Amino acid sequence: MSWLSLPQITFLALSAMALVSGVLVITRRNAIHSVICLIVTLFSVAGIFLLTHAEFLFAVQIILYVGGIMVLFLFVIMLVNLDVAAKQAQFSSHWLVAVLTAGALTAELAYGIYLGRQEFKPSTPPAFILPINNTRGIAVGLFQTYTLPLEIASLLLLVAMVGAVVMAKRKFE
Amino acid sequence: MNMLNTVTQFLLAHPLIFATIKILIVFNVMSAVLMYIVYMERKVLAFMQARLGPMRVGPWGVLQALADPIKLMLKEDIVPAGADKALFLLAPVISVAAAFTVFSAIPFTSSFIISDINIGILFILAVSSLGIYGIILGGWASNSHYPLLGALRSAAQLVSYEVAGGMAIVGVLLISNSLSLRDIVLKQQQMGVWNVFIQPVGFFIYLVAAIAETNRSPFDLPEAESELTAGFHTEYSGFRFSLFFMAEYTAMILVSCIAVTLFWGGWLRPFSSIHALDFLDYTPVIVFLAAAVAIVLGARKNPVPMEKVVLFAIAAAFVLLGMALAIPVVAAAISGIFWFSAKVFIFLYAFIWYRGTFPRYRYDQLMNLGWRVMIPLGLANVIVTAALSYYLTHQAVSAAAPVMMGR
C-alpha cells in the first residue's frame, strides 16, 4: 500500500473524530459533556464538507449548528437541574433487547453493504477548480432551479415556529 | 543570484512557509497591540473621568502594559474544588483560539492577507461564533452562581445579536457581489465610495451588534460588576483570567477590523479617488513627526534623567522613521497598513469612549433592542438594499439594451 495523501489522512482523522465523539455523545453521563461531543462531531463533519470543496456547507454547518443551535442546547441544559439528572440511574434496564436490536440492525446493514459492494466505489474527486463556485452553485440551485420546494419548506418552518410561539405563550397566561 | 532563485523556488514550492511567517507576524503584532489597548483604555477612561490613570511604571505609566501581563502570569492558578476541571481549563483556550483564528481571513492590505478565502466573511462569522463556547463553558464549569448567570446572559445576548449583525453584513454582500473580504474592499475602491455611505443603516446595526457581541459597555451584562461580581470569569485567576481578558480585547480589535473592511474601505486612503487630496499620502510622516514633538515637549518636564534620555532617543527614532516614510517607495509600501490601522484605532477609541459615556443597559432593554429594533431594522435594510440594487442593475441593463441593438 502506498503512502496516504494529505487529503486522505485528513479525511480519516476527521471521520475518526466524528465517529468517536458521536459514540461519546450517547455514553457520557453528563449532558453538557454530551453536547460538547456533539459539537466535535458536527465540527468534524464540517471539516469533511470542506475537504470535498463544499466550503459554503462548511461555513453554514458551523454558523448554524455549532454557533447557533448547540448554544441553545447548552442554554437549555444549563437551565434544568443537572445535579439530579446526573445522579439518577441510567435508564438501561432493557439492555438485552437493545443489544439484540442493535446487533440485528448492524447485521442487516452489513449484509446490505456486502450485497451492494460493487456499487459502493469511491467516486472520483471533483476537479480542483470548479467552473462555478460552491456558494453560487447552491444559490442557483435553491433560488432558481428549486424555488418552489424551497418556499414550501420555509413556509412549513414558519408555521412550526409560529406554533411553537403560540404554545409557549399559552403557558405563561 | 542563483541562490536567490533557489530560495524563491523553495518558498514557492512550500506555500505553507509564507503563511506561517505571516501568522507569526500577525500573532505577535496583535499581542503587542492588545497590551497597549488595555493601557490606552485605562488612560482614556482616566482622562474622561478627570484622573491621571497609570503613572508609576515608566514615563506616564507606559510600561504598565508590560507589567500587568507579567503579574498575571506569575499569579497562582486556582481551580475551584467543585469545578469541572477539564472544561474549566479548556474554556479560556477556546475563547482565545477562536478570537485569533479569525485574523487569518482579514485583509490588512491588498497583499498582506494570510489566506484570501472565497467565503471569507462566512468563515469569520463561523469561527467568531465559536468564541461564545469559552464563555458558556467557563461559566458553567466554574460550578458557581454568578459565573453561570453570566454565561446564560452571554449566550442569549450573543445569539440574539449575531442575527442582527449578520443582517447588517448581508447588505454589504448584496452590493459587493462577493464573500471574499479582499473583493469587498476592491469593490469599494472601484465604486470610489465606502460602503458606510451606501449602507449607513447597515453600519449602525453592525456597530451595535459588534459592541453587544464583544460584551462591551453599554452591553456588558455578562460581566456586570454591580450584579454578577465579574460574570463568567469570576472564578478564574492568574493566567487563565488573562486569557479571557485577551480574548475580549482581541474580539474588540477583530470587530473593528471587520467593520473597517466591510464599511470603511479597508486599506484604502480616505478620498483615494480624488487626486487633489493626494497630499494625504504624507499623513504617516506628519503623524510620526507630531508624535516626536509631543514626546520631546513632555519629556522636558520629566524629573528622572534616565527616562529623559530614553524618551529623547525614542523621539529621535520617530523623526528618523517619519523621514524614512517620506521616501515614495516606503510610503507606498506602508500606506495600506497605515490607513487600516488608523481606522481600526478610531473604532477602538470609540469602544472606549462608549464605555466612558453610556450607562449599562438593563437586561430586558437589551433583549428588546435586539429583537424588536435591530433585527426588524436589519431585515428592512436587506429588503430595501436588495430591491434597489436589483432595480438599479436592471435599469442599467435596460438602458444599455437599446444601445446594443443599434438604435
pLDDT tens, residue by residue, B40-84: 888 888 988 888 888 888 777 888 888 888 888 888 888 888 777
Pairwise CB contact (< 8 Å): B151 & A59: no
Check CB contact under 8 Å for A78 and B159. Answer: no
List CB contacts (< 8 A) between A6 and chain B.
none
Tell me the mean pLDDT in the region B27-33: 87
**pLDDT tens profile B267-285:** 887 777 777 667 777 777 7
Percent of chain B past pLDDT 70, that is, above it, reads 94
What's residue A109's pLDDT? 92
The reply to whether residue A62 touches residue B130, judged by beta carbons under 8 angstroms, is yes
- Find the residue in A nearest to B147 (Cα): A78
Question: What's the pLDDT score for residue B406?
Answer: 41
User: What is the secondary structure of B199-261 as a DSSP string?
Assistant: -HHHHHHHHHHHHHHTT-TTS-GGG-HHHHTTGGGTT--HHHHHHHHHHHHHHHHHHHHHHHH
pLDDT at B306 over 60: yes
A contact test, residue of B89, B101, B117, B122 with most A CBs within 10 A: B122
Which pLDDT band holds residue B405 (cuts at 50, 70, 90)?
very low
pLDDT at A18 over 60: yes
pLDDT score of A82: 60
Q: A49: which 3 cell numbers?
A: 464538507
Long-range contact pairs involving B169-174 (C-beta distance under 8 Å, separation at least 24): B169/B121, B169/B125, B169/B202, B169/B206, B169/B262, B170/B378, B170/B382, B170/B385, B171/B199, B171/B201, B171/B202, B171/B381, B171/B382, B171/B385, B172/B199, B172/B202, B172/B262, B172/B263, B173/B121, B174/B382, B174/B385, B174/B386, B174/B389
Q: Least CA distance to A54: which residue of chain B?
A: B119
Show Cβ contacts of residue A30 under 8 Å, excluding neighbours closer than 6 positions: A82, A86, B84
pLDDT surpasses 80 at A127? no
Give me the pLDDT at residue A92, please.
64
Predicted local confidence at residue A173, as pLDDT = 55
Radius of gyration (Cα) for chain B, nearest Å?
24
- Other Cβ atoms less than 10 A from the Cβ of B339: the count is 24
The complex's ipTM works out to: 0.75
Q: Of residues A83 and B35, which shows the higher confidence score? A: B35
Do B155 and A55 count as a contact with CB atoms less than 8 A apart? no
Residues B205/B127, Cβ–Cβ less than 8 Å:
no
Q: For residues B268 and B191, is the Cβ–Cβ distance under 8 A? A: no
Report pLDDT digits (tens) over B173-231.
Answer: 888 888 888 888 888 888 878 888 888 888 999 999 988 888 777 877 767 666 777 77
Amino acid at B136: I
C-alpha distance from B358 to closest chain A C-alpha (Å): 29
CB-side neighbour CA atoms (13 Å) of A150: 10
Lowest pLDDT segment from B143-147, B148-152, B217-221: B217-221
Which chain A residues contact residue B130 at CB under 8 A? 62, 66-67
Closest listed residue to residue B123, CA positions, set B253, B258, B248: B258
Residue B241: per-residue pLDDT: 85
- Separation between Cα atoms, residue B208 and residue B189, nearest integer Å: 26
The yes-or-no verdict on residue A30 having pLDDT over 90 is no
Euclidean distance between CA atoms B64 and A111, whole angstroms: 69
Q: Buried b vs exposed e over A17-53: b needs ≥16 C-beta within 10 Å?
A: bbeebbebbeebeebbbbbbbbbbbbbbbbbbbbbeb
pLDDT for A60-106, tens place per residue?
A: 888 888 888 888 888 888 777 666 655 666 666 677 888 999 999 99
How far is residue A108 from each of residues A101, A102, A118, measured CA to CA in Å?
Answer: 10, 10, 17
pLDDT at B407: 37
pLDDT at B180: 83
Residue B191 contacts A where some CB pair is shorter than 8 Å = no
- Whether B22 shows a pLDDT value over 70: the answer reads yes
On the question of pLDDT at B116 being above 80, the answer is: no
**pLDDT (average), residues B240-251:** 86
Residue B324 pLDDT: 80
The stretch A160-171 carries a mean pLDDT of: 83
- Residue B357's nearest CA partner among B53, B45, B15, B91 is B45
Which residues of chain B lie closer than 8 angstroms to A59, CB-CB?
119, 122-123, 125-126
**Helix, strand, coil distribution of chain A in percent, nearest 5:** 75, 0, 25
- DSSP track, A132-147: S-HHHHHHHIIIIITH
Task: Name the helix (H) or strand (E) containing B346.
Answer: helix B328-357
Mean pLDDT, rounded, of chain B: 82
Residue B8 has pLDDT above 80, yes or no: no
Asked if B159 lies within 8 A of A63 by C-beta distance, the reply is: no
**Nearest-angstrom CA–CA distance, B60 and B294:** 13
pLDDT of residue B404: 45
Question: For the whole model, what pTM was predicted?
Answer: 0.82
**B117/A contact by beta carbon, under 8 A:** yes
What span, in angstroms and rounded, lies between the C-alpha atoms of B280 and B288? 14
Mean pLDDT of B356-368: 84
What per-residue confidence (pLDDT) applies to A70? 87
Cβ(B107)–Cβ(B26) below 8 Å: no
| DSSP one-letter code for B105 | G
Judged by CB atoms closer than 8 Å, whether chains meet at A135 and B119 is answered as: yes
Task: Give the residue-averaged pLDDT of B363-387.
Answer: 88
Which of A59, A71, A75 lies at the smallest CB-CB distance from B126? A59
Residues of B in contact with A36 (CB under 8 A): 87, 137
C-alpha cell at B278: 493626494
Q: What is the pLDDT of residue B138?
A: 84
User: Which amino acid is located at A114 in the chain?
Assistant: Y
pLDDT at res. A107: 94
> B133 to chain A: which residues are within 8 Å by CB?
39, 71, 74
Gap from A75 CA to chain B (nearest CA, Å): 6
Minimal Cβ distance to A71: which of B118, B122, B136: B136
* Closest chain A residue to B123, measured at CA: A59
Residue with cell 476541571: B85
Question: Is the CB of B155 inside 8 Å of chain A's CB atoms?
Answer: yes
Distances (CA, A) of A65 to A5, A71, B245, B247: 30, 9, 27, 22
Of A42-46, B5-9, B130-134, B336-340, give the range with the top mean pLDDT.
Answer: A42-46
Judge contact between B150 and B108, C-beta under 8 A. no
Q: Does B151 touch chain A (CB under 8 A)?
A: yes
Averaged pLDDT for residues B79-97:
84
| Beta carbon pairs, A and B, within 8 Å | 71
Q: Which of residues 85-104 of B touch A (CB under 8 A)?
A: 87
